[in-house]
């Protein structure tokens, strides 16, 4: 029997090894920023969500894209993105009090069978919280962790449920967005120092951080107007 040469044996071993999947290239912030001014709504929303999910380590790239753009709509959206990514550093996933960082409104409607059903409409999301990367104003929550909301549920009841959920926990939400029903996972967060100081004071400190940061962004970008995106109301839940 003829002997295999070492080179041939090595080649056979290499061919037998499983292929190693290449890591996807990092999302290019300038390309995503450009997509924010697309005429296609779905393309704009996709780019916006991808930007929101970038880690704080890429905040400088977002700020550079903000300084480079002249489009008003892109400026508004990139400012919101920059503020959100900045505040991620100040949104711990461990703490005493669980928060979603949303404002909401419960209401009773009739389902497709004509039966009463409680839905919770998202009015707003707070920057920096994981929920802002998943939920949108106008989303209507119809179930949490596979269970529909009881008709008698109040905002205070929902707040207590979320506050008692350990930060870092993922809750499964079923929602209606437009004409579609979706299942999403949202991570419950906390607020810095909320376990040692009043929650309202912790949120006030957070707002001060956001205000200071946006002022710095405005000074660098120097557009005629860059709105402060941080909401004036405390996150209800």
82-100 confidence digits (pLDDT tens): 999 999 999 999 988 899 9
Of residues 101 and 224, which shows the higher confidence score?
101
Q: Which H/E stretch holds residue 73?
A: helix 72-88
What are the structural domain ranges in the chain? 29-91+197-221, 102-187
Which of the 8 DSSP states describes residue 235? Answer: P
Taking only the tens place, the pLDDT of each residue in 30-63 is 999 999 999 999 999 999 999 999 999 999 999 9
225: pLDDT strictly greater than 50: no
Mean pLDDT lowest among 2-11, 108-117, 184-193: 2-11
In CATH terms, the superfamily for domain 102-187 is: PDZ domain (2.30.42.10)
Cα–Cα distance list, 170 to 2, 52, 77, 93, 236 (Å):
61, 18, 27, 11, 18
Mean residue pLDDT of the chain comes to 84
pLDDT band at 154 (very low <50, low <70, confident <90, very high): very high
Give Cβ neighbours of residue 193 (< 8 Å, ≥ 6 apart): 202, 205
Percent share of the chain, pLDDT over 90: 60
143: pLDDT strictly greater than 80: yes
């Amino acid at each position: 029997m003829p002997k295999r040469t070492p080179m041939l044996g090595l080649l056979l071993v290499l061919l037998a090894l499983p292929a190693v999947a290449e890591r996807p290239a990092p999302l290019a912030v300038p390309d995503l920023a450009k997509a924010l001014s697309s005429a296609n709504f779905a393309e704009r929303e996709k780019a916006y969500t991808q930007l929101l999910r970038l880690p704080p380590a890429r905040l400088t790239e977002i700020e550079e894209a903000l300084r480079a753009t002249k489009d008003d709509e892109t400026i508004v959206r990139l400012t919101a993105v920059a503020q959100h990514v900045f505040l991620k550093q100040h949104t711990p996933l461990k703490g005493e009090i669980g928060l979603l960082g949303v404002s909401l409104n419960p209401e009773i409607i009739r389902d497709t069978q004509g039966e009463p059903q409680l839905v919770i409409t998202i009015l707003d999301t707070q920057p920096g919280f994981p929920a802002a990367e998943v939920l949108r104003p106008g989303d209507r929550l119809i179930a949490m962790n596979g269970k529909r909301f009881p008709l008698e549920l109040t905002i205070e009841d929902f707040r207590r449920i979320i506050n008692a959920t350990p930060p870092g926990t993922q809750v499964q939400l079923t929602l209606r967005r437009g004409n579609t029903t979706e299942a999403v996972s949202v991570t419950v967060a906390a607020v810095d120092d909320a376990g040692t100081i009043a929650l309202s004071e912790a949120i006030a400190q957070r707002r001060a951080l956001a205000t200071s940061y946006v002022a710095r962004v405005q000074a660098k970008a120097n557009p005629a107007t860059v709105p402060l995106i941080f909401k004036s109301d405390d996150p209800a839940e």
